[in-house]
Structure 1
């Protein structure tokens, strides 16, 4: 049983649309996995604890903060930079303030630049791992 030209075109078009939809759906988790594995895009690893080995070389970590256009919080790093020996654990804080008259929830994302350094930077814990809810007028210092 042969498929005529119109039916074949419809089947090919529908198949292409389904394939494109599946690729669009899978692209976000695949890209996230790729960035975590390679450190591409400044993605960092996440660990339960440090390796324990501390080298003599040092690195300088600079902290930055930005907000989405519609986010009413005031958000800034408590320290602008930190110098650590490679392998040493560091603890940094960010300050967030909700100046509005209503509770506002937000979640942070993080990145490392230059992008290649992301593969060597491991987060043990971060407020960015979960959503934060600030009550009206609340100011918090988050590690």
Structure 2
């Protein structure tokens, strides 16, 4: 028996089906490519912000400057805790006066007021945003996740300096002060139940 020959009307239909299949493959490839780029963009964006100070993100360094200038600038500290994380988070001092290029270490007090083990991560930024490029951290509790046992209190230090080049930038030259802000959030994948608040006297 001979196979039926394709009629002229069926040939365009088959060609259309093949074309649609190729389009579907191309679209799927683009979708997965864009998805992969989106995931790759997250660490790149973090690196970009830390390198350039974009969006008020302080830069990060591995070596402190060797000398400081005479002019001082006030660095104020602002601390916040996002709802749901039963922590008290305060700086040891509300502000410090530092010389440009001077390396300074300040401490923050973090207390877990619940009866459960809790985990938190901190975001941070500098205002005014244009000054963030000149604010550099050498070490900071915000670089890693913080884990506190029930009722535990820790001292969390940050070491930083304000770059001497700040006074070479006409946009922030002569700036009298800036603010370093932190906000703690419950760490990703941490238990949703934060625990019952402990009402005993604060530890010191």
Above 0.5 in TM-score? yes
- Pick 1 or 2: higher relative contact order, CA cutoff 8 A, min separation 6: 1
- Indicate yes or no: 2:155 matched with 1:141: yes
After TM superposition, the structure 1 = structure 2 runs for residues 9-88 of structure 1, keeping only pairs within 5 Å, are 9-88=23-102
| TM score, norm. by length of structure 1 | 0.87
What stretches of structure 1 of length at least 5 have no aligned partner? none
Give the structure with the higher percent strand.
Answer: 2
Q: CA deviation at 1:138?
A: 1.8
- TM-score normalised by length of structure 2: 0.63
Secondary structure of 2:89's partner?
A: strand
CA RMSD in angstroms comes to 1.9
1:142–1:16: structure 2 CA closer, same or farther, 3 Å change rule?
Answer: same
Deviation at 1:107, TM superposition (A): 2.5
Shift of 1:61: 0.9
Q: Please identify runs of 4+ aligned residues in structure 1 that moved more than 6 A.
A: none
Q: Which has the larger radius of gyration?
A: 2
Give the structure 2 partner of residue 114 of structure 1: 128
